[in-house]
A and B are shown apart, each in its own frame.
Chain A
Amino acid sequence: VLSHGFWFHSVAENSLRLSVVAEQSNVVSRRGGNATLPCKILRDPSMAPNRKMRIKWTKLTSDYLKEVDVFVAMDYHKRSYGSFHGRVHLHGSSPMDASLVITEITLEDYGKYKCEVIDGLEDGTAVVSLDLEGIVFPYFPRLGRYNLNFYDAERACRDQDAIVASFDQLYDAWQGKLDWCNAGWLSDGTVQYPITTPREPCGGKNTLPGIRDYGLRDKDKNHYDVFCFTSYYKGRFYYLIQPYKLTYDEAVRACQKDGAHIAKVGQMFAAWKLLGYDRCDAGWLADGSVRYPVSRPRRRCSPTEAAVRFNGFPDKKHKLYGVYCFKGQN
């Protein structure tokens, strides 16, 4: 062992006296639900037992230089940060349990979390991913295709009760057969699109299926569509039974009269994918688009595939469609 003066001593002397493990590297929950991110402390019993251990949870971003504080605890002192305030606590089944419980999960909670345990000079970390059950959908607004810079894209998804999808979420959707030939922003600032049936205008006919990647793009100057992600909601999504067809303005008022709001695109996708909602009536949505969700394909109703059908963004004065509403739980 190398010696470095009085105050220095080498790592080898006391390595592996503290380690931190996550028994599961992946936890799946949903919006509105709870999750326990596992983190277990393994400690050499020969270490002095009277030390105060410090447990800190942070959320990782795509950049290691920017972690977001979530929770910290050291004996009786505890603190939670920002949007996690009041929603996180230690599981605490034993002194060696550093698992974190998150309640009232939001779409933004999706991602990787780091559990760090400090005991004197020793420290250890473990990383756990929190995945959400949900659905990825491609989106462009009324302005048309390829009109969103990254910040517009973030706003567009939020306006549809969703967030910008991550690459992993798009990858899962691609494995679930999502095929979309327009490039869209992802949360890491890259622009990509998923192809399951290779064809000439979508990266070439003689290519392998896969996710086509334009790489990192300029978040201000470049304009694309976006892939949004949403999960379960608390509330009721429904088609409003009306005697007549409606203009957009009439549609908005009709939902209000019913004690609800005109539904958002994300809510229709969530209802269709997660709850099997099926309705063969084209209806207005909040962004001025007209769509209908079909989960059981049949003649004259999306005969070839289960899908949310899209009738575009018609003239808002056309009295041609019904409306989908959404009633929040409170």
Chain B
Amino acid sequence: MSLYLDGTLHVSIPVETPLRPILGSKVVIPCYFQDTVNDPGAPTIALPSHRIKWTYVTKEKATTILVASEGKVQVETEYLDRVTMVNYPLVATDASMEITELSSKDSGTYRCEVIHGIEDNYDSVDIQVQGIVFHYRAITSRYTLTFEEAKAACSQSSAAIATPAQLQAAYDDGYHQCDAGWLSDQTVRYPIQEPRERCYGDKENFPGVRTYGVRDVNETYDVYCFAEKMSGRVFYSMSVEKFSFYEAGDQCAKLGARLATTGELYLAWKAGMDVCNAGWLADRSVRYPINIARPQCGGGLLGVRTVYLFTNQTGYPYPDSRYDAICFQGKLFTETENKVTN
């Protein structure tokens, strides 16, 4: 008779899906298993005989992250340095894994599979890495923000000054920007994918995040901000005559909303918003979100495109210029109405 005949192997990732860790941070994906397989011949003290495999799965393919068995952990090359089994092999039934340096590319489905003899089982969980890093330049010109002003500028854009880890994660996702900006640790850096004259990368000629090190708080630069999550809805209000900056604000108010901030527009863009008309934002900047490349909308480039006054990409348009309005409406609390019935 087979030892495994009546056995059942339970694997569980006991969290609410999806997990929403923040860009540049780390996450522990818990995974536990229980084995009711009756194996009277097993030695009382032994290395775990279960084989654990973590996989990153999409609809098209499955990518192995690591395999652990008999106390050994084998990590795939592309995940080396970034993943660890937190309690393996010390806790025999714990297959939890930690992933660090999270970038948006890490969003997706993770599968924890456990095999023992011919038995196998798995559980999976979705991860959505939250937030977006964006470059912010003041209304006047390039490199005009002190460290304190930089923090204030981000906060006015519904964001926080980005951490070095967040900028690094954005770089890992493909972000590049040849403008030096403040980060939360009072350093000044910028992400370069293709080093070139006047846009040097890491150690001059290598792609990477270039740093000027810690700078005096009174020096002036641009800033990198981090917007974490959307707390409402961003939408366009359009009219044939367009709006001046002040009319745009009134228009949003009429719709029970206000002008969106730059950070809110970046989050909307990340969620897929695509509009080929420039619109006013709360900080008097004029921008538009492009997710589908086409030559007549931002020159075939993707991203939140900014309309500058001058060709050297500085200055915001004058307030009497005419554009659409980009509005923001906070979440409505309809749940409170339902509570009355209880």
Establish whether residues B72 and A74, one from each chain, have CB atoms under 8 Å apart when the complex forms.
no
Q: Which of A7-15, A28-36, A269-277 contacts B (4 or more CB under 8 A)?
A: A7-15
Establish whether residues A10 and B77, one from each chain, have CB atoms under 8 Å apart when the complex forms.
yes
Determine whether B120 belongs to the interface, using a CB cutoff of 8 Å to chain A: yes
Could you tell me which residues of chain A, from 59 to 102, have a CB within 8 Å of some CB in chain B?
Answer: 62-65, 72-74, 76-79
Establish whether residues A64 and B115, one from each chain, have CB atoms under 8 Å apart when the complex forms.
no
Could you tell me which residues of chain B, from 71 to 87, have a CB within 8 Å of some CB in chain A?
Answer: 71-77, 80-81, 84
Could you tell me which residues of chain B, from 41 to 87, have a CB within 8 Å of some CB in chain A?
Answer: 51, 53, 57-62, 64, 67-77, 80-81, 84
Kindly state the separation between the CA atoms of A9 and B61 in the bound complex, as whole angstroms. 25
Kindly state the separation between the CA atoms of A188 and B3 in the bound complex, as whole angstroms. 40
Q: Which of B59, B74, B84 has the most CB of A within 10 A?
A: B74
Kindly state the separation between the CA atoms of A4 and B118 in the bound complex, as whole angstroms. 30
Kindly state the separation between the CA atoms of A264 and B139 in the bound complex, as whole angstroms. 74
Establish whether residues B70 and A7, one from each chain, have CB atoms under 8 Å apart when the complex forms.
no
Determine whether A118 belongs to the interface, using a CB cutoff of 8 Å to chain B: yes
A9 touches which one: B74, B77, B109 (CB < 8 A)? Answer: B74
Establish whether residues B58 and A77, one from each chain, have CB atoms under 8 Å apart when the complex forms.
no
A7 touches which one: B57, B58, B73 (CB < 8 A)? Answer: B73
- In the complex, chain B residues whose CB is within 8 Å of the CB of A56: 120
A118 touches which one: B3, B72, B109, B115 (CB < 8 A)? Answer: B115
Establish whether residues A121 and B75, one from each chain, have CB atoms under 8 Å apart when the complex forms.
no
Kindly state the separation between the CA atoms of A65 and B17 in the bound complex, as whole angstroms. 15
Kindly state the separation between the CA atoms of A168 and B53 in the bound complex, as whole angstroms. 32
Kindly state the separation between the CA atoms of A64 and B111 in the bound complex, as whole angstroms. 11
Q: Which of A8, A12, A62, A63 has the most CB of B within 10 A?
A: A8
Determine whether B30 belongs to the interface, using a CB cutoff of 8 Å to chain A: no
Establish whether residues B88 and A7, one from each chain, have CB atoms under 8 Å apart when the complex forms.
yes
Determine whether A49 belongs to the interface, using a CB cutoff of 8 Å to chain B: no
Closest residue of A by beta carbon distance from B77: A11
**Given A7-B89, A65-B59, A118-B51: A76 and B2 interface contact (C-beta under 8 Å):** yes
Determine whether B124 belongs to the interface, using a CB cutoff of 8 Å to chain A: yes
Closest residue of B by beta carbon distance from A12: B77
- In the complex, chain A residues whose CB is within 8 Å of the CB of B118: 54, 72-74, 77-79
Establish whether residues B75 and A120, one from each chain, have CB atoms under 8 Å apart when the complex forms.
no
Determine whether B246 belongs to the interface, using a CB cutoff of 8 Å to chain A: no
Kindly state the separation between the CA atoms of A17 and B75 in the bound complex, as whole angstroms. 16
A121 touches which one: B67, B88, B89, B124 (CB < 8 A)? Answer: B67
Kindly state the separation between the CA atoms of A146 and B118 in the bound complex, as whole angstroms. 47
Determine whether B212 belongs to the interface, using a CB cutoff of 8 Å to chain A: no
Determine whether A143 belongs to the interface, using a CB cutoff of 8 Å to chain B: no
A2 touches which one: B58, B74, B80 (CB < 8 A)? Answer: B80
Establish whether residues B115 and A54, one from each chain, have CB atoms under 8 Å apart when the complex forms.
yes
Determine whether A123 belongs to the interface, using a CB cutoff of 8 Å to chain B: yes
B74 touches which one: A54, A74, A79, A121 (CB < 8 A)? Answer: A121
Determine whether B117 belongs to the interface, using a CB cutoff of 8 Å to chain A: yes
Q: Mark B242-254, 1 if CB is under 8 A from A, else 0.
A: 0000000000000
- In the complex, chain B residues whose CB is within 8 Å of the CB of A74: 117-118
- In the complex, chain B residues whose CB is within 8 Å of the CB of A72: 118, 120
Q: Mark A265-306, 1 if CB is under 8 A from B, else 0.
A: 000000000000000000000000000000000000000000
* Min distance, Cβ A319 to any Cβ of chain B, angstroms: 54
Establish whether residues B117 and A64, one from each chain, have CB atoms under 8 Å apart when the complex forms.
no
Could you tell me which residues of chain B, from 224 to 243, have a CB within 8 Å of some CB in chain A?
Answer: none
* Min distance, Cβ A64 to any Cβ of chain B, angstroms: 6
A11 touches which one: B75, B117, B120 (CB < 8 A)? Answer: B75
Determine whether B4 belongs to the interface, using a CB cutoff of 8 Å to chain A: yes
Q: Mark A304-325, 1 if CB is under 8 A from B, else 0.
A: 0000000000000000000000
Kindly state the separation between the CA atoms of A2 and B69 in the bound complex, as whole angstroms. 19
* Min distance, Cβ A216 to any Cβ of chain B, angstroms: 12
Establish whether residues A11 and B4, one from each chain, have CB atoms under 8 Å apart when the complex forms.
no
- In the complex, chain A residues whose CB is within 8 Å of the CB of B61: 64
* Min distance, Cβ A287 to any Cβ of chain B, angstroms: 35
Kindly state the separation between the CA atoms of A74 and B51 in the bound complex, as whole angstroms. 14
A63 touches which one: B59, B84, B115 (CB < 8 A)? Answer: B59
Kindly state the separation between the CA atoms of A78 and B5 in the bound complex, as whole angstroms. 10
Kindly state the separation between the CA atoms of A289 and B267 in the bound complex, as whole angstroms. 56
B75 touches which one: A4, A64, A79, A123 (CB < 8 A)? Answer: A4
- In the complex, chain A residues whose CB is within 8 Å of the CB of B81: 2
Kindly state the separation between the CA atoms of A10 and B66 in the bound complex, as whole angstroms. 10
Kindly state the separation between the CA atoms of A118 and B120 in the bound complex, as whole angstroms. 12
Could you tell me which residues of chain B, from 97 to 116, have a CB within 8 Å of some CB in chain A?
Answer: 109, 111, 115
A65 touches which one: B57, B70, B120 (CB < 8 A)? Answer: B57
A8 touches which one: B60, B73, B111 (CB < 8 A)? Answer: B73
* Min distance, Cβ A73 to any Cβ of chain B, angstroms: 7
* Min distance, Cβ B113 to any Cβ of chain A, angstroms: 11
B60 touches which one: A10, A54, A64 (CB < 8 A)? Answer: A64
- In the complex, chain B residues whose CB is within 8 Å of the CB of A10: 74-75, 77, 80
* Min distance, Cβ A117 to any Cβ of chain B, angstroms: 12
- In the complex, chain A residues whose CB is within 8 Å of the CB of B72: 7-9, 121
* Min distance, Cβ B217 to any Cβ of chain A, angstroms: 39
- In the complex, chain A residues whose CB is within 8 Å of the CB of B60: 64
Kindly state the separation between the CA atoms of A78 and B117 in the bound complex, as whole angstroms. 10
Q: A72-B118, A77-B117 are in contact. List 11 more A-B contacts (CB 8 A).
A: A4-B73, A9-B72, A11-B75, A11-B77, A62-B59, A63-B59, A65-B109, A74-B118, A77-B3, A77-B118, A123-B53
Query: What are the nearest 10 A-B pairs in CB distance?
Result: A77-B118, A72-B118, A121-B74, A74-B118, A121-B67, A8-B73, A121-B69, A63-B59, A77-B2, A7-B73
A-B contact pairs, 8 of them (CB 8 A): A10-B75, A11-B75, A11-B76, A54-B117, A74-B117, A120-B70, A121-B68, A121-B72
